[in-house]
Amino acid sequence: MLSKPLTPKDRKRTPFFLAREEAEFLSVWDGPLRSGTGERSCQCPDHAGAVAVHCSGRGLQEIPKDIPTDAVLLKLDANKIARIPNGAFQHLNQLRELDLSQNAIETIGPAAFSGLASGLRLLDLSHNRIRRIPKDALGKLSAKIRLSHNPLHCECALQEALWALKLDPDSVDEIACHTSVQEEYVGKPLVQALDSGVSFCGVHHKTTDVAMLLTVFGWFAMVITYIVYYVRQNQEDARRHLEYLKSLPSTPVSKDPISPAP
């Protein structure tokens, strides 16, 4: 099958990271691409060069197994993918943009994006069901990351994970706290909360310190209570023993008469 060269309209939609000379070689065609749930028709490459793979809105429930190794753009948006397993993209070392937006992603393996650290420039995880950010999975990426419109739980672990990420500035204001360890920030933009000086880690550490203090106080109170009980029990035993000794009858001392001398 012959590949279809990009039209001028297509070139306007070329990903931002592709150089002009790369865009000239970008082409796609309609062909089958297998996934774990059966055959799906995706737009795939027909020749070597800069390759874009479009699998948008194909009803996929898993990451396709046979994505071309020379793909530079992979669009898996608007599907039904719920999890990203470890090593899902490890063979795509030329990939520069990965779009996983508008799925049902809840779980991301700690090594889900292994092999993409150096080349990937944009990772779109917006409009999913992510509650917690897997720091091990995203922290090593140098790509801009989109996390808007996810039901994030604002806590210390999230704050620490975000410190290690390079968030996309165009969507960072749309990252909001769906739930939070501090209820007053529920529904508010996370950046607004952090800019105000709030530290979710401070709340976490404070709660931990209070819990440790209460635990130590509880043990201390138990020890003191035991010592008091032990002393009082010994005093009671000593008193009873003394009363018992006093209740015993006294034994008279017998005196032998002095015998007269012969």
Q: What is the pLDDT of residues 24-55, one digit of tens each?
A: 334 443 445 655 554 456 876 554 556 899 99
Which are the contacts of 177, defined by CB distance < 8 A and separation ≥ 6?
152, 153, 154, 185, 186, 187, 188, 189, 190, 193
Task: Examine the pLDDT at 192 and tell me if it is beyond 80.
Answer: yes
Given a cut of 50, whether residue 110 has pLDDT beyond it is yes
pLDDT per residue as tens digits for the range 142-162: 999 999 999 999 999 999 988
Amino acid 245: pLDDT: 67
* pLDDT higher than 60, residue 256: no
Q: Which two tokens mark 31?
A: 């062909």
The pLDDT, as a whole number, for residue 191 is: 85
pLDDT, residue 206, reads 47
* Model pTM score: 0.66
Give the mean pLDDT of 127-149.
92
Most confident residue range from 4-8, 135-139, 245-249: 135-139
Please state the length of the chain.
262
92 exposure class (CB count in 10 Å sphere: 0-12, 13-18, 19+): buried
The answer on pLDDT for 76 being more than 80 is yes
Q: Does the structure show a pLDDT above 60 at 254?
A: no
Q: How far is the C-alpha of 62 from the C-alpha of 69, rounded, in Å?
A: 18
